[in-house]
Amino acid sequence: MTAAQALSHPWLRDEHRQIPLDMLVFKLVKAYLRSTPLKRAALKALSRAITEDELIYIRTQYNLLEPSSRDGRISIDNFRMALLQNTTDAMKESKTLEILNALEPLAYRRMDFEEFRAATISPYQLEALGRWEEIAGTAFEYFEQEGNRAITIEELAQEMNLSSAAYSIVRDWIRPSDDRLSFLGYTKFLHGLTMRSSNARRHH
């Protein structure tokens, strides 16, 4: 949990305490812009499943980027200006300028809050919540309606940057009835899988 996330937590929230711009946002948006349409759909569904209280951190970070008063959207200019206004030594050390260059796609289009919410949602942190199963279940319902599609074992492995050695693992994540991701497949897809973790599962 970053400092900005901690200050957004209900236990520590203070209206008089300013929440800083979080560098994690830059990294998450960077990863989102590089992700596939299926991964974006999965994240969008997940972002719709959390409560307004759990959205405080994301909404605060969006507002720190000062979205346009005209359409409420942000572009690469918003990230650049926020960076100039909030630069610290720690940010310089985290190669922020390199991350900003990775946001170049936003020079040609704009992002609204709904997409920003999907881009900055973190499955890893949500998994630590006591109500993760409830969140994941609701998210999967949204995913079934708007994002789930037929996919082959090979395509799923490619989506997750896995080699053919993982085919026997990802096979269990696809429903035989319609060749779409199952609930288990959806949660695994959100989290990602490395060959190290898959080998560990095989030996337990």
Given a cut of 60, whether residue 204 has pLDDT beyond it is no
Helix (H, G, I), strand (E, B) or coil at 6: helix
C-alpha to C-alpha distance for 34 and 24, rounded to whole angstroms: 16
How much of the chain, in percent, has pLDDT values that exceed 90?
62
pLDDT of residue 201: 38
pLDDT of residue 125: 87
8 Å CB contact between 35 and 156: no
Using CA atoms, how far residue 17 sits from 12, 20, 86, in Å, is 10, 9, 16
Residues whose CB falls within 8 Å of the CB of residue 185, separated by 6 or more in sequence, listed in order: 156, 170, 172, 173, 174, 175
What's the pLDDT tens digit per position in 101-115?
889 999 999 999 999
Name the segment(s) of the chain with CATH classification 1.10.238. Answer: 3-128
Query: Taking all residues of the chain, what is their mean pLDDT, rounded to a whole number?
Result: 84
pLDDT of residue 203: 39
Residue tagged 């991350």 (tokens): 99
- The correct answer on CATH 3.30.410 for the domain covering 3-128 is no
pLDDT of residue 192: 81
pLDDT of residue 7: 43
pLDDT of residue 128: 87
What's the pLDDT tens digit per position in 142-187?
999 999 999 999 999 999 999 999 999 999 999 999 999 999 999 9
What's the pLDDT tens digit per position in 120-146?
999 988 988 899 999 999 999 999 999
Using CA atoms, how far residue 24 sits from 2, 116, 155, 191, in Å, is 8, 13, 29, 17
